[in-house]
Amino acid sequence: MSSFPMNAGDGPYSYSKNSPLAKEALNGAKRMVRDAIIQNLDIKIMLSSSSNIICIADFGCSVGPNTFIAMQHVVQALKDKYHNKILEFQVFFNDHVTNDFNTLFRSLPIDRSYYAFGVPGTFHGRLFPSRSIHFAHSINSIHWLSKCPEELLDEKSPAWNKGLIHYMGTSNVEVLNAYVAQFEKDMEMLLNARAEEIVEGGMMVLVTPFESYLRLIKFFGSSLMDLVNEGKLDEFLVDSFNLPMYFPSPEDMTKVVEKNGCFNIEKVELTYPKSKLVDEADAKTIMINLRAILEGVLSNHFGCKIAEEACTRTILKSDEISIWMKANYERSCQLFIALKRK
Amino acid sequence: MSSFPMNAGDGPYSYSKNSPLAKEALNGAKRMVRDAIIQNLDIKIMLSSSSNIICIADFGCSVGPNTFIAMQHVVQALKDKYHNKILEFQVFFNDHVTNDFNTLFRSLPIDRSYYAFGVPGTFHGRLFPSRSIHFAHSINSIHWLSKCPEELLDEKSPAWNKGLIHYMGTSNVEVLNAYVAQFEKDMEMLLNARAEEIVEGGMMVLVTPFESYLRLIKFFGSSLMDLVNEGKLDEFLVDSFNLPMYFPSPEDMTKVVEKNGCFNIEKVELTYPKSKLVDEADAKTIMINLRAILEGVLSNHFGCKIAEEACTRTILKSDEISIWMKANYERSCQLFIALKRK
């Protein structure tokens, strides 16, 4: 199983310093996460236990600081809901074993009101004992596929994705189908694992980008094709590369959850983050953020030099991207889904 | 509070590649840890719970591989004790936030039969919710003091430790008293924290070096004094440096546990590890191991260059040390203590 950690450390292109898109998603979901906890969470185990421990997990936490902000919101909502109880909180920060947990741990808030743990491993498999998690959270993570769909790696397959790095923009339905099939397999594994781990009445909230990323990724693809056209990169390498990301629709999510059968869907909604990111930050900031997200997966396929060249070129196109964004970015949105364990 | 992680990564002087002394301690304690679990552990909470989760913590785990071997022993002993139950195990790997958790996580055994978590923070403070740990384990860790006793830092204090880097070898009782007082303060914090965290009938096993380290540290001290005598190092720097390690006696441990009042002492014993370390590994291997342990704390005080020079010189004295060890090392031993939460 592949893993593509965000850029590590705290350097100029590190994820820890460059995550306004995740912060935007976080702000967009803040109220909805709180409402889900206040209105839908229904954990009975607490009433019978002498020590009232609530276990929260953030799946695909990366290195912070957004995960700390998100977990503080969750803890506060739980405190407000159960204000007449004395609670203790355990927060489990999960990401791939290749994630930079050292940076995560060293930036944990000093004044946190929870016990903090790191959990290395893929969220497509089991990470916790049975019935041990009360609230699961995942933001901007489940759209990462566990691997590139295999059909896309075969030049002779009808799903060969010529000249593109993603299903966005293709007219080949086989390419899209391969992505959908991989997403469904991954979600089946994820839901099976969480169904074991989450207590009855416990919840899982998933937030995933719906349009925004799709629209900006293409600029990285066109930078790579520029390198092909200049004779600096073999086109086969671009054709055989496919970003392992699928942006599910509400219908996609409903389908996989219903197939799994262990969760009730409390809410599934496309939302428009209210932040003024486009006004406040320029295109360059956003493209540097995307670079922090994508450079790892690009380096893995193209090597560090080409990945860096493609990223640098994409950031240099900021003016062009800025004009495009002002015309298009308003329509970016995210998918919010709240599930309750039956 | 200071922290002095073992040398990180997996380079030639890294702790992960150089820990035969810890392995020796581990082998020496193996049978006793098992006996403590089989004979003394008495956790009632499991009988009433629908999901039988056992929580184990290793305090001061460093980066492995010894912690993985130790935790596998503990899990196996628990499986044997409760062989008629279906259990799930959570193992919490604790060390300072400066510990190299990335290396720890990346070397976790693939075939482990437990869920693994990292817990960053000092074990002198709280790390877990109340009554959430069933078995606590700490090997070769509690002899690290949270800081150098302050009296030793004042040139005008009667506890000024001239020409030495430890209480070993001093005739100044004030130096020893300062170490003892710091150890008692640290253990009080540790026991208070664990008393909250460990369930009734749960246990804590502590293993700490008693003689062996004491005997070898002096060679690092004499290398530093060589540098002083050659005019390469200010003697004040050596006088003001004191290794923050205290090697408690059975009486020291009994005193602090009885003062705390929350634990029954099931066993306290000085043991002679049965391993043939001196025969199998030469003095050089052992001194490289000590270097991996001490270089961090030496660098912190003397700077990297002097620390490296002192360590390199000490390793070069391997022949002399080897002769000394063959005559003296047999008497090295470790203190084992098993506590049960009242």
Residues 6+ apart with CB under 8 A from B83: none
Least Cα distance to A216 among A65, A62, A322, A79 occurs for: A322
Amino acid at A76: Q
What residues of chain A lie within 8 A of the CB of B128, using their CB?
90, 115
Number of domains into which chain B is organized: 1
Does A5 contact chain B (CB < 8 Å)? Answer: no
Containing domain of residue B132, as a range?
15-164+179-212+245-279+330-341
Residue A16, pLDDT score: 66
Contact (CB<8Å) A108/B117: no
Q: Which tokens hold the place of A36?
A: 């889900």
Q: Are B135 and B56 in contact (CB under 8 A)?
A: yes
Amino acid at B43: I
Cα A248 from chain centroid (whole Å): 12
Contact (CB<8Å) A129/B115: yes
Residue B327, pLDDT score: 73
Does B88 contact chain A (CB < 8 Å)? Answer: yes
Residue B22 domain-assigned (yes or no) = yes
Under 8 Å CB pairs connecting chains A and B tally to: 81
CA distances from B96 to B5, B60, B62 (A): 7, 7, 9
Contact (CB<8Å) A102/B101: yes
A263: domain CATH number is: 3.40.50.150
What residues of chain A lie within 8 A of the CB of B121, using their CB?
116
CB atoms within 10 A of CB B256: 17
Q: Are A130 and B90 in contact (CB under 8 A)?
A: no
Q: Which tokens hold the place of A300?
A: 């893995």
Collapsed DSSP state (helix, strand, coil) of residue B94: strand
Residue A145, pLDDT score: 95
Q: Which tokens hold the place of A302?
A: 């193209």
Residue A280, pLDDT score: 45
Residue A59 domain-assigned (yes or no) = yes
CB atoms within 10 A of CB A124: 22
Residues 6+ apart with CB under 8 A from B78: B37, B41, B54, B56, B87, B89, B135
Strands B88-95 and B334-341: unpaired
What residues of chain B lie within 8 A of the CB of A105, using their CB?
97, 101, 118, 120
Q: How far is A240 from chain B (nearest CA, A)?
A: 29
Q: How far is A338 from chain B (nearest CA, A)?
A: 25
Q: Which tokens hold the place of B297?
A: 């704390």
Residue A115 domain-assigned (yes or no) = yes
CB atoms within 10 A of CB A9: 14
Q: How far apart are CA B297 and CA B5, in angstroms?
A: 8
Contact (CB<8Å) A129/B50: no
pLDDT digits (tens, 9 = 90+) for A148-181: 999 999 999 999 998 889 998 888 999 999 999 9
Of A200-209, B29-38, B56-65, B213-222, minimum mean pLDDT range: B213-222
Residue A172 domain-assigned (yes or no) = no
Helix (H) or strand (E) segment spanning residue B268: strand B263-271
Residue B320 domain-assigned (yes or no) = no
In this complex, the residue of B90, B118, B129 whose CB is nearest that of residue A118 is: B118
Q: How far apart are CA B231 and CA A303, in angstroms?
A: 50
Instruction: Tell me the pTM.
Output: 0.90
The DSSP 8-state label assigned to residue A213 in this structure reads H
Residue A305 domain-assigned (yes or no) = no
CA distances from B260 to A152, B57, B142, B194, B195 (A): 64, 20, 16, 11, 9
ipTM for the complex shown: 0.89
Collapsed DSSP state (helix, strand, coil) of residue B128: coil
CA-nearest residue to B118 within chain A is A118
Please report where in the chains the tokens 């912060």 appear, as a residue: A23
Collapsed DSSP state (helix, strand, coil) of residue A333: coil
Contact (CB<8Å) B129/A53: yes
Contact (CB<8Å) A115/B127: yes
Residue A322 domain-assigned (yes or no) = no
Least Cα distance to A333 among A72, A32, A99 occurs for: A32
Residue B46, pLDDT score: 54
Q: Which residues pair with A93 in a beta bridge?
A: A58, A118
Does B220 contact chain A (CB < 8 Å)? Answer: no
Q: Which residue has the higher pLDDT, A178 or A293?
A: A178
Q: Which residues pair with B59 in a beta bridge?
A: B94
- Position A326 confidence tier, pLDDT thresholds 50, 70, 90: confident
Q: Are B8 and B282 in contact (CB under 8 A)?
A: no
Scored b (16 or more CB within 10 A) or e, B153-192 reads beeeeebbbeebbbbbebeeebbbebbbebbebbbebbbe
CA distances from A240 to A54, A150, A153, A175 (A): 45, 10, 6, 12
CA-nearest residue to A130 within chain B is B51
Chain B residues 114-173 with CB within 8 Å of chain A: 115-121, 126-132
pLDDT digits (tens, 9 = 90+) for B42-84: 987 555 555 689 999 999 999 978 999 999 999 999 999 998 8
Of A303-317, B136-150, B323-337, minimum mean pLDDT range: B323-337
Does B111 contact chain A (CB < 8 Å)? Answer: no
Residue A214, pLDDT score: 63
Residue A173 domain-assigned (yes or no) = no
Does A272 contact chain B (CB < 8 Å)? Answer: no
